[in-house]
Amino acid sequence: GAGVSQSPSNKVTEKGKDVELRCDPISGHTALYWYRQSLGQGLEFLIYFQGNSAPDKSGLPSDRFSAERTGGSVSTLTIQRTQQEDSAVYLCASSSGRRAGELFFGEGSRLTVL
Protein backbone atom coordinates (compact mmCIF):
# COMPACT_ATOMS: atom_id res chain seq x y z
CA GLY A 1 0.00 0.00 0.00
CA ALA A 2 0.95 3.64 -0.22
CA GLY A 3 0.80 4.42 3.48
CA VAL A 4 2.79 3.51 6.57
CA SER A 5 2.15 -0.08 7.49
CA GLN A 6 2.47 -1.45 11.01
CA SER A 7 2.20 -4.96 12.36
CA PRO A 8 0.81 -6.53 14.36
CA SER A 9 -2.21 -4.30 14.77
CA ASN A 10 -2.93 -5.89 18.12
CA LYS A 11 -0.63 -7.78 20.45
CA VAL A 12 -1.50 -9.30 23.81
CA THR A 13 1.41 -10.64 25.78
CA GLU A 14 2.26 -11.76 29.28
CA LYS A 15 4.40 -9.72 31.59
CA GLY A 16 8.05 -10.56 31.13
CA LYS A 17 7.81 -11.61 27.49
CA ASP A 18 9.61 -9.85 24.66
CA VAL A 19 7.68 -8.27 21.79
CA GLU A 20 8.64 -6.97 18.37
CA LEU A 21 6.65 -4.35 16.51
CA ARG A 22 7.25 -3.71 12.85
CA CYS A 23 6.93 -0.54 10.76
CA ASP A 24 7.11 -0.30 6.99
CA PRO A 25 7.37 3.40 6.07
CA ILE A 26 6.27 5.09 2.89
CA SER A 27 8.72 4.27 0.13
CA GLY A 28 11.34 6.98 -0.26
CA HIS A 29 10.76 8.57 3.13
CA THR A 30 14.09 9.07 4.85
CA ALA A 31 12.79 9.91 8.31
CA LEU A 32 11.09 7.37 10.57
CA TYR A 33 9.70 7.98 14.03
CA TRP A 34 8.29 5.83 16.82
CA TYR A 35 5.84 7.28 19.32
CA ARG A 36 3.60 5.69 21.90
CA GLN A 37 0.23 6.84 23.09
CA SER A 38 -1.42 5.62 26.26
CA LEU A 39 -5.19 5.82 26.65
CA GLY A 40 -6.29 9.44 26.75
CA GLN A 41 -2.73 10.70 26.64
CA GLY A 42 -0.64 12.59 24.13
CA LEU A 43 2.07 11.24 21.89
CA GLU A 44 5.28 10.29 23.66
CA PHE A 45 8.35 10.42 21.43
CA LEU A 46 10.50 7.27 21.54
CA ILE A 47 13.07 7.22 18.75
CA TYR A 48 13.86 8.86 15.41
CA PHE A 49 15.83 7.66 12.39
CA GLN A 50 17.00 10.02 9.65
CA GLY A 51 18.81 8.53 6.68
CA ASN A 52 22.15 7.08 7.66
CA SER A 53 22.60 9.29 10.71
CA ALA A 54 22.79 7.88 14.21
CA PRO A 55 19.25 7.54 15.58
CA ASP A 56 17.92 9.91 18.21
CA LYS A 57 17.13 7.55 21.08
CA SER A 58 16.47 10.25 23.64
CA GLY A 59 12.85 9.23 24.13
CA LEU A 60 13.33 5.56 24.93
CA PRO A 61 11.98 5.10 28.47
CA SER A 62 14.38 2.34 29.54
CA ASP A 63 17.03 -0.03 28.26
CA ARG A 64 14.32 -2.62 27.70
CA PHE A 65 13.37 -0.65 24.60
CA SER A 66 15.40 -0.75 21.39
CA ALA A 67 14.79 -0.14 17.72
CA GLU A 68 16.50 -0.84 14.46
CA ARG A 69 16.00 0.35 10.94
CA THR A 70 17.41 -1.94 8.31
CA GLY A 71 18.43 -0.72 4.89
CA GLY A 72 16.93 2.66 5.54
CA SER A 73 13.45 1.24 5.29
CA VAL A 74 11.69 -1.20 7.63
CA SER A 75 12.01 -0.60 11.35
CA THR A 76 11.49 -2.92 14.31
CA LEU A 77 10.80 -1.73 17.84
CA THR A 78 11.67 -4.34 20.45
CA ILE A 79 10.48 -4.31 24.03
CA GLN A 80 12.16 -6.81 26.30
CA ARG A 81 10.71 -8.18 29.53
CA THR A 82 7.47 -6.31 29.02
CA GLN A 83 5.75 -4.64 31.96
CA GLN A 84 2.11 -3.69 32.38
CA GLU A 85 3.00 -0.01 32.06
CA ASP A 86 4.23 -0.74 28.52
CA SER A 87 0.62 -1.22 27.43
CA ALA A 88 -0.12 1.48 24.85
CA VAL A 89 -0.56 2.10 21.16
CA TYR A 90 2.80 2.27 19.43
CA LEU A 91 2.68 4.59 16.44
CA CYS A 92 5.19 4.73 13.65
CA ALA A 93 5.46 7.69 11.31
CA SER A 94 7.57 8.56 8.32
CA SER A 95 8.40 11.79 6.58
CA SER A 96 9.99 12.84 3.32
CA GLY A 97 11.18 16.10 4.82
CA ARG A 98 9.75 18.06 1.89
CA ARG A 99 7.06 19.67 4.00
CA ALA A 100 8.14 20.65 7.50
CA GLY A 101 6.18 18.97 10.25
CA GLU A 102 4.27 16.62 7.96
CA LEU A 103 4.43 13.15 9.40
CA PHE A 104 2.46 10.24 7.99
CA PHE A 105 1.42 7.86 10.72
CA GLY A 106 0.60 4.19 10.56
CA GLU A 107 -2.51 2.89 12.28
CA GLY A 108 -0.46 1.75 15.24
CA SER A 109 0.19 -1.45 17.13
CA ARG A 110 -1.93 -1.82 20.24
CA LEU A 111 0.08 -3.61 22.91
CA THR A 112 -1.58 -5.09 25.97
CA VAL A 113 0.62 -6.58 28.66
CA LEU A 114 -1.26 -8.81 31.08
Q: Site residues (CB under 8 A) for other proteins?
A: 31, 33, 35, 41-43, 45, 47-48, 50, 56, 58-59, 91, 95, 99-103, 105-108
Considering just the CA atoms, what is the radius of gyration of the chain in Å? 13
Q: What three-state secondary structure class fits 72?
A: helix
In the complex with other proteins, the residue whose CB is nearer, 13 or 105, is 105
In the bound complex, what is the minimum distance in angstroms from residue 43's beta carbon to other proteins?
A: 4
Instruction: Tell me whether residue 57 or residue 81 sits nearer to other proteins (CB atom).
Output: 57
Which of left, alpha, beta for 46 (phi over 0: left; psi -120 to 50: alpha)?
A: alpha
CB of 56 to other proteins, least distance (A): 6
Question: Are 86 and 14 a contacting pair, CB within 8 Å?
Answer: no
Measured from the CB atom, the residue of 9 and 83 that comes closer to other proteins is 9
Nearer to other proteins among residue 20 and residue 107 (C-beta): 107
Taking the complex as a whole, the smallest distance from the CB of residue 16 to other proteins amounts, in Å, to 28
Tell which phi-psi region holds residue 29, choosing left (phi > 0), alpha (psi between -120 and 50) or beta: beta
Closest CA to 85 of 58, 114, 48, 57: 114
